[in-house]
């Protein structure tokens, strides 16, 4: 995540960590640096998560394992730090040692927005300008080992799964993709089931149908997605509109919200969106990594029994980074990564075999079908909430004395 703020750093293994702790040098080969030239801007209805999943798919194909990736160009310069961090944090999933964004005015804006002193920001800017490290490079400024192109305007709403983060699916193709994967061979990233079983095998749990494609876990989780106010406020707005239309989440779906920061709780409360998420079951369970590292906890025993006995290909939807089979839950075979507002939408729908463009996700209290496009917030709605809720003093208050606020 720090790479989105122009800080060079990456995770290491146990051997390197031990060497560092003992004061020994750590040797590594100078890596190739892959430049990703970003142009254009994200379209209405497209989130930073959609962009991160698109970048992950693109860079996996480019085979960037063991390499540094640097994002440059006008598209990179226009991205706020929170969106840069969302992309940078997916580096393990696209295989790079790190995904780096250079330091520029957006970094200063982030420091200012999170309560840093103006004198510190002036020193920060002066130092990096004096070092020749200020600003996002433009095309031709740096001779990269390899250069790739991505027009941000080409990014569309997406999810990734059911087994790997690089397997991106455009949202309208989700239904067909899941149905096709059901009967595909396991060697082709499928589930190796008989196609006819998709509709014929199911079970009843507490009067509710559980079948192939049923969503049983819906988690707004992951450090970057849940620290990015644009997607978190979008999730709150989707929840608000859903509650106002009378929609509810199926009681069989295990829902949770694990923000990456206490600031998230603060602005969800301040905007009045937290109660709507609570009503749909997305109540705060803690802060930090949860579902995407396997901390989803157990399913209800009757639900788990139905899944195991009928060998169901049930699903989880999460805003995390990783979705390898059995990572989220040992008995949930299909796991899909997506933005927080889409997690809310799929929790409401209760299934992944749905075309969000044409199928209703539920029926409102007026008896009318409710479509996703009716719940999805505009960019302006999200920006209005951000301006109203995100204030530097909140960060100062919550993080000025970290030790005192986190007693042992």
355 within some domain: yes
Domain assignment of residue 363, yes or no: yes
Q: How far apart are CA 313 and CA 54, in angstroms?
A: 25
Same domain (yes/no): 140, 222:
no
Q: Checking phi first, is residue 314 left (phi over 0); if not, alpha (psi -120 to 50) or beta?
A: beta
CATH number assigned to the domain comprising residue 9: 3.40.1060.10
Q: Say yes or no: 205 and 344 in one domain.
A: yes
In this predicted structure, what is the pLDDT of residue 308? 96
User: Are both 335 and 203 inside the same structural domain?
Assistant: yes
64 shares its domain with 142: yes
**Residue 140 shares a structural domain with residue 205:** no
pLDDT at 246: 98
Whether residue 356 is contained in a domain is answered as yes
User: What's the rounded Cα separation, in Å, for the pair 249 and 279?
Assistant: 9
In a domain, 405, yes or no: no
d(CA 93, CA 166): 7
Residue 142 and residue 224 share a domain? no
263 in the same domain as 332? yes
Co-location of 216 and 338 in the same domain: yes
Please list the pLDDT of the chain residue by residue as tens digits (408 residues): 799 999 999 988 888 889 989 999 988 889 999 999 999 999 999 999 999 999 999 999 999 999 999 999 999 999 999 999 999 999 999 999 999 999 999 999 999 999 999 999 999 999 999 999 999 999 999 999 999 999 999 999 999 999 999 999 999 999 999 999 999 999 999 999 999 999 999 999 999 999 999 999 999 997 777 789 999 999 999 999 999 999 999 999 999 999 988 899 999 999 999 999 999 999 999 887 888 777 888 999 999 999 999 999 999 999 989 898 888 999 999 999 999 999 999 999 999 999 999 999 999 999 999 999 999 999 999 999 988 888 899 888 888 777 777 666
Q: Is residue 121 part of a domain?
A: no
Q: What is the pLDDT of residue 11?
A: 85
Q: Is residue 112 part of a domain?
A: no
User: Does residue 206 share a domain with residue 148?
Assistant: no
Same domain, 142 and 223: no
Assigned domain for 123 exists:
no
**Full-model pTM:** 0.95
Residue 113 inside a domain? The answer is: no
Q: Range of 199's domain? A: 158-387
Q: Are residues 262 and 373 in the same domain?
A: yes
Residues 88 and 204 placed together within one structural domain of the fold: no
How many distinct structural domains can be found in the chain? 2
CATH number, domain at 285?
3.30.499.10
């Amino acid at each position: 995540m720090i790479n989105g703020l122009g800080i060079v750093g990456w995770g290491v293994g146990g051997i390197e960590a031990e060497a560092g702790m003992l004061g020994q040098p750590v040797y590594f080969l100078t890596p190739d640096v892959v430049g990703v030239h970003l142009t254009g801007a994200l379209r209405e209805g497209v989130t930073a998560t959609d962009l991160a999943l698109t970048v992950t798919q693109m860079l996996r194909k480019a085979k960037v394992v063991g390499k540094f990736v640097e994002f440059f160009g006008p598209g990179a310069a226009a991205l706020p730090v929170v969106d840069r961090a969302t992309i940078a944090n997916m580096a393990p999933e696209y295989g790079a040692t790190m995904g780096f964004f250079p330091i520029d005015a957006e970094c200063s804006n982030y420091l200012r927005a999170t309560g840093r002193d103006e004198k510190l920001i002036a020193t920060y800017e002066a130092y990096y300008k004096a070092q020749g490290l200020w600003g996002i490079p433009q095309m031709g400024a740096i001779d990269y080992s390899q250069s790739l192109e991505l027009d941000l305007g080409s990014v569309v709403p997406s999810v990734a799964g059911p087994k790997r983060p690089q397997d991106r699916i455009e949202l309208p193709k989700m239904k067909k993709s899941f149905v096709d994967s059901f009967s595909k061979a396991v060697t082709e990233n499928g589930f190796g089931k008989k196609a006819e079983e998709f509709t014929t095998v199911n079970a009843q749990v507490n009067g509710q149908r559980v079948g192939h494609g049923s969503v049983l876990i819906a988690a707004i989780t992951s450090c970057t997605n849940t620290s990015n106010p644009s997607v978190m406020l979008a999730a709150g707005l989707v929840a608000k509109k859903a509650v106002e239309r009378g929609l509810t989440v199926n009681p069989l779906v295990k829902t949770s919200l694990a923000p990456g920061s206490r600031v998230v709780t603060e602005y969800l409360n301040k905007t009045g969106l937290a109660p709507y998420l609570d009503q749909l079951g997305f109540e705060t369970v803690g802060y930090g990594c949860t579902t995407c590292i396997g901390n989803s906890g157990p399913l209800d025993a009757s639900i788990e029994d139905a899944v195991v006995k009928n060998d169901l290909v049930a699903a989880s939807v999460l805003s995390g980074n990783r979705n390898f089979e059995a990572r989220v839950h040992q008995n949930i075979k299909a796991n899909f990564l997506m933005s927080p507002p889409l997690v809310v939408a799929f929790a409401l729908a209760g299934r992944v075999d749905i075309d969000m463009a044409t199928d209703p996700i539920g029926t409102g209290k007026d008896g009318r079908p409710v479509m996703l496009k009716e719940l999805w917030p505009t960019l302006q709605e999200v920006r209005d909430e951000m301006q109203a809720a995100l204030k530097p003093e909140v960060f100062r208050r919550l993080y000025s004395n970290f030790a005192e606020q986190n007693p042992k």
